Amino acid sequence: MGQGERYYRTELAIIGSGLAGFAASVFALARGIASAQVGNTGAVAYTTGYLDLLGSCRGLWLDDPWQGLELLRESEPRHPLSRIGRTAIQAAFDQFSGALTEMGVGYTAPAERNHLALTPAGTVKPTLSVPQTMLPGIEARKAGVRTLIIDILGLQGFSAKEFVANIRSSWPQLSTAKLSFPDMESGGQVFPEVMARALEVSSHRERFAERIKAALGDARLVGMPAIMGIHHPDRVHAELQRLVGVPLFEIPTMPPAVPGIRLREMFEQGFPAKGLTLVPQQKVKRLVLEAGRATLYLQDSFGEVMIESKAAILASGRFLSGGLTAERGGVREALLDIPVTQPESRADWYRQDYFDPLGHPVNRSGVEVDSSFRPLGPDGEPVNHRLFAAGILLAHHDWVRQRCGAGVAIASAHKAVEAVADMLKEQ
Amino acid sequence: MVSGIETFETEVLIIGGGVTGTGVMRDLALRGIHCLLIDRRDLNAGASGGNHGLLHSGGRYAASDSETAAECRQEGDILRQVAPDCIDDCGGMFIAVEGDDPGFAERFPGYCEAAGIDCESLSPAQAREREPALSDKLFAAYAIPDATVDPFRLTLENVNHAQQLTDSLFLPHTAVESFEIANGVITGVLCRNTKTGGMRRILVRQVVNAAGAWSMDVARRAGCSDVSLLYSKGTLIISNTRITDRVINRLRPPGDGDILVPGGTVSLLGTTSDNVDDLEDIRPTVAEVERVLIEGTAMLPCLEGTRFIRAFSGVRPLLLPAQNTADGRSASRGFTLFDHRDQGLENFATVTGGKLTTFRLMAEKTGDLVARRLGNSRPCKTATEPLPSGNAVRWTEPGFAPRFWYRRNDPTDMILCECEMVPQSAIDSIIESAPGAESEMTLQAIGVRSRVGKGSCQGSFCSIRVTSHLYDRGVYDSARGLHSMRDFLSGRFKGVQPILWGEQMPQIELSEALHCSLMGLDRLDGKANDPEKEGSG
Ligand SMILES: Cc1cc2nc3c(=O)[nH]c(=O)nc-3n(C[C@H](O)[C@H](O)[C@H](O)COP(=O)(O)OP(=O)(O)OC[C@H]3O[C@@H](n4cnc5c(N)ncnc54)[C@H](O)[C@@H]3O)c2cc1C
Ligand SMILES: Cc1cc2nc3c(=O)[nH]c(=O)nc-3n(C[C@H](O)[C@H](O)[C@H](O)COP(=O)(O)OP(=O)(O)OC[C@H]3O[C@@H](n4cnc5c(N)ncnc54)[C@H](O)[C@@H]3O)c2cc1C
């Protein structure tokens, strides 16, 4: 080892710090598998905070995602979710949402039915597990409770009037108010993350609660953009409710949004304490697979980092995260050039209509895996018996149209970690 | 709507809100005449919003059509005087690279001289010193006085000025359906309001058909069969940055992908030329983009690795002299003014063909005819009267919004479009007073009047921010605001789809996640957004 090199040895190396990567770490830690995780944690900060299992199948919204999975198995047998048993998927969701709750961001336990979660546009979407701070709004819409929706002076991309104008047909009893946030009253731009951190301080909470109360009118509930704290959202939520005197709820905002930032910071701080080696900002430059080991090579400003492991899970995402790259001639997997299933030519990547309910063929491109979720090489055989793949990098799904982003990530991570555990046991 | 016909009255109805129609509107208003301008969609919905923005020196036509070339040169000089704010006088170059005909290159200065175009011979080293991005396979180069022009600004300023002069009016989404004719005179024109579906009757003394590629269709509706056009589709691609300072032309007879035109902070490479039969649903394709790119790379090898943010297509109306079956590029680029007298109409004129560069001249000739028919003897003033700029028509210029914003230095005037730095106040002034401003103004209409959606994110983020702002201001109070956002994004996608590779892929993936997963825009229609009524079957 030369100067400035750092070297880690572990059982499992997880490449990727999106939902799939973090889910893999949750499952590996639970099984006592020593793990190291790398990749930019910014990927989780994009999410709305909702954990979708499956919201749409054959173009129809799903009330019952479990029944939806049955339909999916029939119509799309190669879909990643069709290749994982229901019990395993349920266990994965239970364990993952439970871990989030335990680590400080309360999530609802997955149930038999999808929630109809609220979006900042005033539309709704089916999802399985939601942050506790968002649940009261979902229930209030169902019950038609008289509710005040507030937005905040200087907060872009979130308008209470927009929310109300679009959701009014299914939730008529709404009013709106625009509040200024304490000490951010200039009218200039304000940011959700900054307000969320401010609300962790009691004096800010008190002043903000006063302003909400003044605007309450005859509303029995208050909805607002997601700004109720970063590290202890449930505590901030409870405190604000006590101060205002009525139940409150959060509505997601456009990224970078607080619900994702919460997950990122929680993982970054909570996992190392549980024994995970987390190298959060660097990309793996090279992955070398040899007879007895998989070695990851990274580079940061202090020099080279090497991680040697017995197994590796590739959870490097798609184009946005750099797991896949798109050249004029075709789509490629970025790290090992693993074959990517894809449409024949670039002219077939997208349909003409951006919002075509069928989604776009290129979204279904990705890597193929065997029954143990090992990626397949050009010969149709696993690239290496130590290499597994998870997350939206996999082929044959369209997580955006099917509302199954977290579902694919969590369930496939669970499957891959199980396979890793089996492999490690055999040795 | 039986009783719901809206009636308007004007001296001159002008059909078509491109540079030509708006040019005629201003020309007539400067003679004191009231006009009503209509477009079935919006300003610049046709070729005037889908062209290269090249203010031709005439060099490109010098070899084949020295009359057109000379016309371009003269008009270019006039526009530099009267519309300096719309023009970037960046200069141009013609270059030949390995494989091009050296004979053509040698004859080029002679062609330019015949058309009166300045042409300076450059050594390959000189050319590459001026434009380092040029290929090292270059063997001949000439500097010529090309420039670029912002057609959006031209159009907006034309309308704005006409409104100021004679209270002339522009009506968007108003499509001509039929003409009411009595004794060889058009007395009224029936139009469909394409937004509401309602009818509009316009009572007129004179009618000008400036519907560009659609002018043949409009003329036929008036019973005139003398306008015969060839439709030539052209596709261009826009890079993320400005690649050269000057306009770069390939020194050869016109072909695909042989002009690179700077447009403020970006460059436009084009174009193709393919005959089409149908004017509806014109969109750029992957195959066209590949063709343009392969040809362009011969002049500028760096295009191989350039990030492109958008492609677009326009249709050239090319006048077809009887029995001419020539292909698109060799049909006439000149324009024709039809007075339709031999078709039995006394107050109908059609002006079509031509170029952006020559729109003023086209408008002058048309204005002369219409004014004469109205008994108005005032002369055309557009060759000397400068275009005034107005607050609501300045926002199409790349780089204007950031300059304005920094100068104004008001932190409460938030930036809504980050790529192009368009502030809230720009949107506010557009919805209040830009030509064609109306209630429930669509994002598309705001886009035509500003740089919103034109940067590297192609509207992914700013559409969300602008929509929230419009709801906040009370412009929208129903689901129509979200529908407008969806339509805007669908429209942008036409141009985005064929250039999706490389760095645009992360961008579009994030966009889809935002627009569908976060906002639910793919599920706006009917029961699809009401899952409770659907069950899971
Ligand atoms: C705007 C938006 C909204 C969303 N909303 C929802 C929602 O409402 N519900 C829902 O369920 N899901 C949602 N998602 C989807 C979800 O967040 C995840 O994208 C998805 O679940 C898949 O995660 P992943 O871990 O497979 O991939 P990603 O999240 O893309 O993560 C890939 C990771 O791999 C890393 N990586 C790539 N290459 C390397 C390398 N060479 N070395 C090391 N690391 C590497 C990246 O840095 C990144 O950390 C949303 C996503 C976005 C973008
Ligand atoms: C790809 C391409 C590149 C070009 N590059 C250049 C260049 O670099 N330099 C240059 O000088 N010239 C260029 N041109 C030519 C130039 O763009 C056109 O000559 C010019 O824009 C024509 O303007 P117009 O107003 O006559 O027609 P248009 O701009 O096409 O306007 C016609 C309008 O009529 C409307 N309309 C149609 N039917 C109806 C109806 N029934 N009722 C009401 N309205 C109707 C349409 O919506 C449209 O807005 C280019 C053209 C193309 C296609």
Q: What angle do CA A205, A209, A210 make, to 5 degrees?
A: 120
Q: How much of chain B is in helix, strand and coil states, percent to nearest 5?
A: 40, 25, 40
Question: What average pLDDT is seen over chain B?
Answer: 92
Q: How far apart, in whole angstroms, are the C-alpha atoms of residue A159 and residue B481?
A: 12
Distance, CA B251 to ligand 2 centroid (Å)?
26
Whether residue A288 sits in one domain with residue A141: no
**Does the beta carbon of A321 lie inside 6 Å of ligand 1?**
yes
Q: Does B405 touch chain A (CB under 8 A)?
A: no
Judgement on whether residues B340 and B485 belong to the same structural domain of the protein? no
Question: Which pLDDT value is given to residue B528?
Answer: 41
Predicted confidence (pLDDT) at residue B324 exceeds the cutoff of 70: no
Q: How confident is the model at residue A292 (pLDDT cuts 50, 70, 90)?
A: confident
For ligand 1, whether the C-beta of A52 sits within 6 Å is yes
Whether residues A226 and A84 fall in one domain: no
Ligand 2 pocket residue status of B234, Cβ below 6 Å: yes
Question: Of A220, A251, A282, which residue sits at a domain end?
Answer: A251
Pairing type for strands B229-239 and B247-250 reads unpaired
**Total domains present in chain A:** 2
**B455 vs B300, more confident:** B300
Give the mean pLDDT of B103-128.
Answer: 96
In a domain, A65, yes or no: yes
Is residue A88 over pLDDT 90? yes
**Sorting pLDDT into bands at 50, 70 and 90, what band is B535?**
very low
Residues A143 and A178 in one domain: yes
- The CATH number linked to A172 is 3.40.50.1860
Q: Which of A194, A228, A251 is the C-terminal boundary of a domain?
A: A251
Looking at the structure, do residues A238 and A336 belong to the same domain, yes or no? no
Q: Could you report the per-residue pLDDT of A119-165, keeping only the tens digit for each?
A: 999 999 999 999 999 999 999 999 999 999 999 999 999 999 999 99
Residues B223 and B245 grouped into a single domain? no
A266 and A408 together in one domain: yes
CATH number of the domain that B102 lies in? 3.30.9.10
Closest chain A residue to the Cα of B536, Cα to Cα:
A62
- Check whether residue A417 and residue A334 sit in a common domain: yes
Percent of chain A with pLDDT over 70: 99
Ligand 2 pocket check for B441: Cβ under 6 Å:
no
What are the beta bridge partners of residue A62? none
3-state DSSP call for residue A123?
Answer: coil
Residues of A in contact with B417 (CB under 8 A): none
d(CA B176, CA B193): 9
For residues A169 and A282, state if they share a domain: no
Instruction: Report ipTM for this prediction.
Output: 0.96
Q: Does residue B498 share a domain with residue B448? A: yes
Banded model confidence at residue B91, pLDDT cuts 50, 70, 90:
very high
What is the enclosing helix (H) or strand (E) of A136? helix A135-143
**Which residues from A are below 8 Å from B476, CB to CB?**
162, 165
- Same domain, yes or no: B261 and B359: no
Residue A257 has pLDDT above 80, yes or no: yes
Mutation pick from A166, A316, A327, A351 vs chain B, by most beta carbons of B within 10 Å, is: A166
Q: How far is the centre of ligand 1, averaged over its atoms, from the C-alpha of A43 (Å)?
A: 5
Ligand 1 centroid – CA A49 distance (Å) = 12
**Same domain, yes or no: B223 and B234:** no
- What is the distance between the alpha carbons of residues B257 and A122, in angstroms, rounded to a whole number? 45
Please check whether residue B220 is in contact with residue B207, taking contact to mean a CB–CB distance below 8 angstroms: no
Residue B385 included in any domain: no
* Diameter over CA atoms, chain A: 70
* Residue B258 predicted with pLDDT over 60: yes
For the cut 90, the answer to whether the pLDDT of residue A194 exceeds it is: yes
- Confidence (pLDDT) at A280: 80
My answer on whether B156 and B242 are in the same domain is no
Is the pLDDT assigned to residue B536 strictly greater than 50? no
Q: Which residues contact A392 (CB under 8 A, 6 or more apart)?
A: A18, A20, A317, A318, A366, A399, A405, A408, A409
Distance from CA of B195 to the nearest CA of A (A): 21
Residue B535: inside a domain: no
Is residue A19 in contact with ligand 1, taking CB distance under 6 Å? Answer: yes
Higher pLDDT, A361 or A45: A361
pLDDT at A73: 97
Q: Which amino acid is at B517?
A: S
A151 with A243, same domain: the answer is yes
Extended strands (E) in A280-404? 284-289, 294-300, 303-314, 324-327, 330-333, 340-341, 366-367, 387-389
The pTM of this model reads 0.94
* Structural domain for A172, as ranges: 135-251
User: Does B55 have pLDDT greater than 70?
Assistant: yes
Which ligand is nearest to the Cα of residue B336, counting in written order? Answer: 2
Split into its structural domains, chain B has a count of 3
CATH number of the domain residue B368 falls in: 3.50.50.60
Taking only the tens place, the pLDDT of each residue in A207-237 is 999 999 999 999 999 999 999 999 999 999 9
> What's the gap in Å between the CA of A386 and the closest CA on chain B?
29
Domain final residue, candidates A205, A230, A251: A251
Establish if B396 belongs to a structural domain.
yes
Q: Are A268 and A240 within one domain? A: no
Same domain? For B118 and B236 the reply is: yes
Is A358's Cβ below 8 Å from some Cβ in B? Answer: no
Pick from B189, B191, B224, B231: nearest CA to B349: B224
In a domain, B69, yes or no: no
pLDDT over 50 (residue A265)? yes
pLDDT over 70 for what percent of chain B?
A: 95
How close, in Å, is residue A74 to chain B by CA atoms? Answer: 13
- Residues A270 and A329 grouped into a single domain: yes
Question: Tell me, what's the pLDDT at A282?
Answer: 85
The pLDDT of residue A3 is above 80: no
Å between A107 CA and nearest CA of chain B? 19
A175 touches chain B (CB under 8 A): no
What gap in Å lies between CA B510 and CA B488, rounded to an integer?
A: 17
* B75: in domain: no
Question: Is pLDDT above 60 for B327?
Answer: no
Inter-residue contact A383 to A338 (CB < 8 Å): yes
Give the pLDDT score at B2.
47
In a domain, B109, yes or no: yes
User: What is the average pLDDT score of chain A?
Assistant: 95
Q: Does any domain span residue A178?
A: yes
Ligand 1 atom closest to A404 (CA): 11
The H or E element containing residue B95 is strand B92-97
What pLDDT is attached to residue B530? 45
What are the residue ranges of helices labelled H in A168-244? 192-198, 202-215, 233-244
Any idea which ligand is nearest the CA of A130? 1
The domain of B340 spans 6-47+152-228+332-374
Please report whether residue A119 resides in a domain: no
Q: Which of A290-294, B475-479, B511-515 has the lowest mean pLDDT?
A: A290-294
| Cβ separation A162–B472 shorter than 8 A | yes
Distance (angstroms) between ligand 1 centre and the Cα of A317 equals 6
Examine the pLDDT at B410 and tell me if it is beyond 70: yes
